[in-house]
Amino acid sequence: MGLRNVLLALWIAAPLAAQQWVVYPGGKGPGKGKHIVFVVGDQEYRSEESMPALARILAEHHGFRCTVLLPVNPQTGEIDAMMSDNIPGLEQLRTAGLMVIFTRFQELPDEQMKHIIDYTNSGRPIVGFRTATHAFNYQKRKDSPYAKYGWRSKDPEGGWGRQVLGETWINHYGAHQKESTRGVIAGGMEKHPILRGVRDIWGPSDVYGLTTLHGDCRPLLLGQVLAGMQPDSPPNPEKKMLPVAWTKTYTGESGKTARVFATTMGHGGDFRNEGFRRLAVNACYWALGMEKKIPAKSKVDFVGEYDPNDIGMKRHKTGLKPADLRKR
């Protein structure tokens, strides 16, 4: 094949590859010129709907360029939440100023996983939601050089989740789908920039169990377990409050230290709560070192509709391709 034909083939392939993820270009606003890459792949909590919604908010209201990478079935080209071994476009992390990750038990091919670990080691910031504490799970390819990042790893203990975000998967502390979460600001953290304008956090997610948070974690938000699935449900008096959102730092192989924000909230219904959306937006500003630009009340109105399917395995919307999200 001559050079001309090679270039033509690449020219044709480029837009086809881009159809496997979605870009919201952003523009005016404090985030202009900043690139946020979302790495999405959880089977249960509707991250394939909540993360594009958050990306649209950050792009439309705040100016950030947001690229959303999703689990895609290579045979159909459709978004498939049950996929655990294909998130196309991870090379986009090379130009990211921030990685937002919401994955669960992914076992990615080495060539894809390399981009996540290269980013992790780069010293650039990370924001993780809910199941990102157990982001990876190597069962089929235990000989992969990346198997050590699995959530049950012994070396490093707790894998990627505990080392980078501060904890791995422990258990459902609140009863799953029976006990919801009220967010209570941790003592002394009332003036933290991530919590600026954040009020009345409630979500249908249950509080996750924790051991001792790893590293220099600083809890921002405590989760009060409610004995019911409504915002006014009474607290469960037998369960103490546990951290559900915190900051920390992580220093990877580059020797550069990254800002990290993690929350174990992230149920699709949590994003219906204005306070939780504001927490998420503010966390992205803070992670990027832009805390002085966080307004008194960040704009977090949805851009377009947000009507996620119920949580659960195999309950995701079917027949959608990344290009369909772009049209929204």
Between the CA of residue 251 and those of 25, 324, 325, what are the distances in Å?
30, 38, 35
> What's the burial of 152, exposed, middle or buried (CB within 10 Å: 0-12/13-18/19+)?
middle
The DSSP 8-state label assigned to residue 300 in this structure reads -
CB-CB neighbours of 145 under 10 Å:
11
pLDDT for 232-253, tens place per residue? Answer: 999 999 999 999 999 999 999 9
Region at 87 (left for phi over 0; alpha for psi -120 to 50; beta for the rest): beta
pLDDT for 178-196, tens place per residue? Answer: 999 999 999 999 999 999 9
CB distance 132 to 168 below 8 Å: no
Q: Could you list the pLDDT tens digit for every one of the 328 residues in the chain?
A: 455 554 444 444 445 556 899 999 998 999 999 999 999 999 999 999 999 999 999 999 999 999 999 999 999 999 999 999 999 999 999 999 999 999 999 999 999 999 999 999 999 999 999 999 999 999 998 899 999 999 999 999 999 999 999 999 999 999 999 999 999 999 999 999 999 999 999 999 999 999 999 999 999 999 999 999 999 999 999 999 999 999 999 999 999 999 999 999 999 999 999 999 999 999 999 999 999 999 999 999 999 999 999 999 999 999 999 999 976 5
H or E element: which one contains 248? strand 242-251
Give the pLDDT of residue 63: 98
Note the pTM of the prediction, 2 decimals.
Answer: 0.94
Give the pLDDT of residue 252: 94
Helix axes 274-287, 47-62, angle to 10 degrees: 70
H or E element: which one contains 250? strand 242-251
H helix intervals, the chain: 3-18, 47-62, 110-120, 159-160, 274-287, 322-327
20-171+243-327 CATH: 3.40.50
CB distance 181 to 205 below 8 Å: yes
H helix and E strand count, the chain: 6, 10
pLDDT for 11-60, tens place per residue? Answer: 444 455 568 999 999 989 999 999 999 999 999 999 999 999 999 999 99
User: Quick one: tokens of 18?
Assistant: 């881009």
How far apart are the C-alpha atoms of 17 and 149, rounded to whole Å? 28
Taking CA 25 as the corner, what is the angle to CA 19 and CA 30, rounded to the nearest 5 degrees?
Answer: 155
DSSP letters spanning 77-132 = --B-TT--S--TTGGGGGG-SEEEEEE-SB---HHHHHHHHHHHTTT--EEEEGGG
Give the pLDDT of residue 19: 85
